[in-house]
Amino acid sequence: MARFRYIAMDQNQGGAEVEGVVEAASQSAAIAAIKAQNMIPTRVSPVEGGGKKAKAKSTSQASQRKGFDMGGLFKKRVKPKQLMVFTRQLATLLEAGLPLLRGLRILLKQEKSPGLRQALSGMGESVEGGGTFSEALGGFPRIFDNLYVNMVKAGEAGGVLDSVLARIAEFLEKAEKIKSKVKSAMVYPIVVLTAAMGILVFLMVFIIPRFAEIFDDLLDGRALPGLTQAVIDASDFIATRWYVLLGAVFAIIFLSKLLNQTEQGAAMIDKFKMRAPLFGDLVQKTLVSRFARTLGTLMASGVPILQALQIVRDTAGNRVLADAIQSVHDSVKEGESVAMPMEASGVFPGMVVSMVDVGEETGALPEMLVRIADNYDDEVDNAVEALTSIIEPIMIVLLALIIGTIVIAMFVPLISIITEMS
Q: Which of 50-59, 290-299, 328-337 has the lowest mean pLDDT?
A: 50-59
- 38-42, 43-47, 192-196 — which one is most confidently predicted on average? 192-196
Q: Between 391 and 124, where is the model more confident?
A: 124
Please count the structural domains in the chain. 3
Per DSSP, the residues of 203-251 read IIIIIHHHHHHHHHHHHTTPPPPHHHHHHHHHHHHHHH-HHHHHHHHHH
Sign, Cα dihedral of 143, 146, 151, 153: positive
Phi–psi pair at 301, nearest 5 degrees:
-85, -5
Q: What is the pLDDT of residues 83-93, one digit of tens each?
A: 999 999 999 99
Asked whether residue 34 is domain-assigned, the answer is: yes
66 shares its domain with 52: no
Q: What is the share, in percent, of the chain residues with pLDDT greater than 70?
A: 89
Q: Which of 109-113, 183-187, 350-354 has the lowest mean pLDDT?
A: 183-187
pLDDT at 1 over 80: no
207 shares its domain with 300: yes
CATH number of the domain to which 271 belongs:
1.20.81.30
Asked whether residue 151 is domain-assigned, the answer is: no
45 shares its domain with 93: no
Cβ count near 372 (within 10 Å): 24
* Average of per-residue pLDDT across 73-83: 70
Q: How far apart are CA 152 and CA 87, in angstroms?
A: 11
Q: Are residues 166 and 91 in contact, defined by beta-carbon separation less than 8 angstroms? A: yes
In sequence order, what are the beta bridge partners of 4? 22, 46
Sign, Cα dihedral of 252, 254, 257, 262: negative
Q: How far apart are CA 123 and CA 107, in angstroms?
A: 12
97 shares its domain with 209: no
Q: Which of 4-18, 41-55, 240-254, 260-274 has the lowest mean pLDDT?
A: 41-55
Asked whether residue 22 is domain-assigned, the answer is: yes
* Average of per-residue pLDDT across 312-322: 85
Residue type, 67: G
Q: Between 53 and 147, where is the model more confident?
A: 147
**pTM for this entry:** 0.64
Q: How far apart are CA 63 and CA 124, in angstroms?
A: 9
Q: Are residues 146 and 314 in contact, defined by beta-carbon separation less than 8 angstroms? A: yes
pLDDT at 422 over 70: no
Q: What is the pLDDT of residues 9-39, one digit of tens each?
A: 676 766 567 788 888 877 667 777 887 887 7
Q: Are residues 317 and 405 in contact, defined by beta-carbon separation less than 8 angstroms? A: no
Asked whether residue 38 is domain-assigned, the answer is: yes
Q: How far apart are CA 124 and CA 204, in angstroms?
A: 61
* Average of per-residue pLDDT across 246-270: 86
Asked whether residue 156 is domain-assigned, the answer is: no
| pLDDT given at position 135 | 86
